[in-house]
A and B are shown apart, each in its own frame.
Chain A
Amino acid sequence: MITQEKIDFYINKIPPAPIILRETIILLNAGDLNKAAKVAQKDPALNAYLKNLVNKPIFGFKSEVHEMSQIFGILGISGSQQAVYNYMITLLSPAKWHLFKLKASTFYELQAKLSKRWIDILKHLNINDKDTQSAITLLPASIIVSEALFCDAKEDVNLLRSVHSLDFNTILMRLCHVDLFDICQLIASKWEMPEKISLILQASSGIKPQQDEQINTLGKWMHLLLFYELSQPLFIEAGLNDFIDFQIEYVSDIYEDFAQLMDIA
């Protein structure tokens, strides 16, 4: 069904990050928002994506934001980096989804919700670090990787899952001894994303706790946030609720805090 060769082929065909995006990220790292906005302006697709993202209701801006400089100004350095990485991840997404009942707009919606709520979580945890803020962008890449690897075996996977409770991550691990999060880490490395992003992502799998206590805590929050979003009807109907296994015990010590922050009663 899925072999190491198939995974290697998938990774190899991922192109390097586009030059404009790399330049934008470098300028953001240097703290030059104006120049970063000017460079980003050259990529029409990035422009359209960022406009669509920041004008979503979850970001709560009263009037529509149009200009790239305005967008970067509102989001700040951390928010702009997060938004650019979100766009980079969409470059991996398929033109048409087969495994999941998704379309581009639904996927963007998930990215937006995760990103905004992740910012709220980091504020709550008093963490102000742009790489940590960008870590959330890599999480939806696991959905894209599942789609890419499993879409040709949809019927087989359905039959397999009718006799055994197996999520995509477990199936992949048992077949190839590598999981979705490892593949996302390879993508992050290919795109020269900061290492911290990959470490937080690995912790967010819920099955690979990290040595660093803070990264581990962030992984728990991210794991729970993912399932908070995947419990929404839009994403359940897309078939995302059980694409990986929810590790309920892993998040037990942060649940009360999370529930309070998300106003869950």
Chain B
Amino acid sequence: MRAVIRNGIGIFTPQGFLDGNQGTSFLSVEDIELTAKLNVDMILVSLKKVVFFNRNGLDPFVKMFLKVRLAHHTIVGFCDYDSKKFDAICKFYKNNLTFSLFNTEETATLFALSYKNKNKNILLFNDDKSQRAAMAIELHDNGHNPIIAQTKEEFLAKSANKDAYDVIIQDTYLGHMGHKIASRVTGNAIIYTVSSFLDAEIGNSFNITYHNNSLNVGFRLFIFDAYKVVSMNVHALNFFSKLSSSAAEYNATICFVGMTFEKTPQTFKETLEDAGIMFYEQMDDILLNKELLAELGASSAATVKNKRVINKGTVTELPNFIDATVATIEMMTNSKAIKESVQITSIQVANKTDKIASSIGFYGDMDGMIILVFPKEIAKKSCELLIGDTTDDTELILDTLAELVNIVGGKIKTLLSDHNIHVDITLPRTYPDIESLLEITQDRKGVQVDLSFDNDKFLFFLTR
């Protein structure tokens, strides 16, 4: 079974009955491992479509959860159930509840490090006092405003006023949390979340390949969410200093947010500042300040130190890239594509109005970046299959477009692996207009393929 990845959470959704040893038929350790490798914060099994389960049915999942949590420091558990199911699970695993339980997927996203919508007013209740506290701390750390009901009566009274809260949490349990270095994209900045003690282990847990490729595809602002960091030692200090030096080669900026130096020598802060790292107290100090964002590089790509050109290896595989893209858009729109022209050039967009774009990087045996420029109408049509309805909501279209480009990336990965070329893909990035795209590409050369779908012009650009 495959997981659906949303907001940094990989969710498996079995349907029907879980009453015997079907667990391993639904889900193998390999399925979960594959999902864990996609840098998710959580791996959950949804019980939304399960009409009946017993302990025998859940045990295989629980065993797999344990293995995956130990190997990947990922939050694991079940979600999407009603009170009756919650009580049953608590009864089955009374003294051994090592996994987490989230009553809805929405509740789970509030605890996921990758979730970008903060500042939710959340009413929460749990019979267990320590659980109430743990949830409140996690939610607060994730930028929300938790309101704890101390008794069931208080909870019922408060929850009657539904409009007062964005989310109401009950029937939820926090098992062992993950605390891995998660990354998420907010606007055009990448945010890494670090916590507890930063030591030599940071070199292992930080995905440097992912970071370098994010630099390569045009991300210029990297923020370390360090609210939960207790202290930092000299090994971590050296790591971040080097990271900042390498970022400087791309004119990129590294910031720390929420880091206190109560248990870390103040001289470390000075050393990091000398290396070019900037410190802010609150995330909003950066994200809500558009001028600062622009200055730090999140909305404009400064000149890349080493401009790279498209090479023979990439051009040789061009048909694969185009096939993957065309097949995906054809699949989503149910219309045929006609290739109109191919040229090596810097990106040329004839009519810049009513167009949006998306890009995705790939790295491994070969590296590069694919840019897709859509007329808004094609983008809307392409997204209809995923959304299930027509929409004019640009943000929703951009989010869905990111999913679509992820599909293109996944298809390219498969096609290349058929040729024994192994690549990984970065997070997709979207651009609400052509100007913001051109800031990234500047005069970078690449292969431009102009295509038309039912007479709508669509542009494919492959560069490095």
Q: A32-68: which residues lie under 8 A (CB-CB) from chain B?
A: none
Chain A residues with Cβ below 8 Å from B17 are: 227-228, 231, 264
CB of A139 closer than 8 Å to a CB of B: no
Q: Which chain A residues (178-200) contact chain B, with CB distance < 8 Å?
A: none
Given known contacts A174-B385, A224-B51, is B410 in contact with A231 (CB within 8 Å)?
Answer: no
CB proximity of A133 to chain B, nearest CB, Å: 23
**Also in contact, A241 and B52, with CB within 8 A (given A153-B331, A155-B411, A158-B2):** no
The stretch that binds A, out of B18-26, B240-248, B340-348, is B18-26
Q: Which residues of A contact B5 (CB under 8 A)?
A: 162-163
Interface of A is mostly: helix
Contact with A along B306-342 (1 / 0, CB 8 A): 0000000000000000000001101100100000000
Contact of A246 with B by CB under 8 A:
yes
Contact with A along B1-44 (1 / 0, CB 8 A): 11111100001011111111110011000000000000000000
Say whether A261 faces chain B, with CB atoms less than 8 Å apart. no
Specify which chain B residues have a CB less than 8 angstroms from the CB of A231 in the assembled complex: 14-19, 22
Cβ-neighbour of B49 out of A166, A174, A246 (below 8 A): A246
Q: Which of B212-268 contact A (CB under 8 A)?
A: none
Of A156, A162, A166, A176, the contact of B328 (CB 8 Å cutoff): A156
Q: Is the CB of A163 within 8 A of B331?
A: no
4 further A-B contacts with Cβ under 8 Å, apart from A158-B2, A255-B51, A259-B52, are: A224-B51, A228-B16, A246-B15, A264-B17
Q: Which residues of A contact B107 (CB under 8 A)?
A: none
A/B interface sample: 6 pairs, CB < 8 A: A158-B2, A166-B385, A175-B385, A228-B16, A236-B26, A241-B16
Question: Which secondary structure characterizes the binding site on chain B?
Answer: mixed
Min Cβ gap B31→A in Å is 11
Q: Does B68 contact A (CB under 8 A)?
A: no
Per-residue B-contact encoding for A154-175, CB less than 8 Å = 1, 0 else: 0110111111111000110011
* Most chain A CB atoms below 10 A, which of B26, B406, B414: B26
Given contacts A174-B385, A264-B19, contact A156 B2 (CB under 8 A): no
CB-based contact A164/B2 at 8 Å: no
Residues of B within 8 A of A264 (CB): 17, 19, 52
Answer yes or no: A84 CB below 8 A from chain B CBs.
no
Contact residue among B4, B18, B48, B410 (Cβ-Cβ distance under 8 Å from A248)? B48
Closest 9 CB pairs of A and B: A231-B16, A227-B16, A231-B17, A246-B15, A233-B25, A236-B25, A1-B331, A163-B403, A159-B407
What 1/0 mask marks residues of chain B from 127 to 157 whose CB sits below 8 Å from any chain A CB? 0000000000000000000000000000000
Query: Is there a chain B Cβ closer than 8 Å to A232's Cβ?
Result: yes
Closest-CB distance, B39 to chain A (whole angstroms): 14
Whether B51 lies near A161 (C-beta < 8 A) is no
Tell me if B403 and A164 are in contact (CB < 8 A): yes
Closest to B335 in A: A3
Q: Which residues on the B side are within 8 Å of A153 (C-beta)? A: 331
Residues of chain A within 8 A of B406, CB atoms compared:
163
- Contact of A164 with B48 in the complex, beta carbons under 8 Å: no
Chain A residue at minimal CB-CB distance from B413: A159
Cα distance, A42 to B414, chains bound together (Å):
50
Report the minimum CB–CB distance from A49 to chain B (whole Å). Answer: 27
Q: Which residue of B lies closest to A1 (CB)?
A: B331
Query: Are B22 and A233 in contact, CB atoms less than 8 angstroms apart?
Result: yes
A240 to B3, CA, bound (A): 16
Q: Chain A's nearest CB lies how many Å from the CB of B250?
A: 29
Is B385 in contact with A171, judged by CB distance below 8 angstroms? Answer: yes
A190 to B291, CA, bound (A): 67
8 Å CB contact of A230 from B15, B384, B407, B414: B15
Chain B residues closer than 8 Å to A224, beta-carbon distance: 51
Partner of A236, one of B4, B22, B48, B403: B22
Residues 1-32 of chain A: 1 if any B CB is under 8 Å from the residue's CB, otherwise 0? 11100000000000000000000000000000
* Given A161-B4, A230-B15, A174-B384 contact (CB < 8 Å): yes
Contacts of A159 in B (CB 8 A): 328, 407, 410-411, 414
Q: How far is the CA of A141 from the CA of B104 in the complex (A)?
A: 34
B residues in contact with A166, CB < 8 Å: 385-386
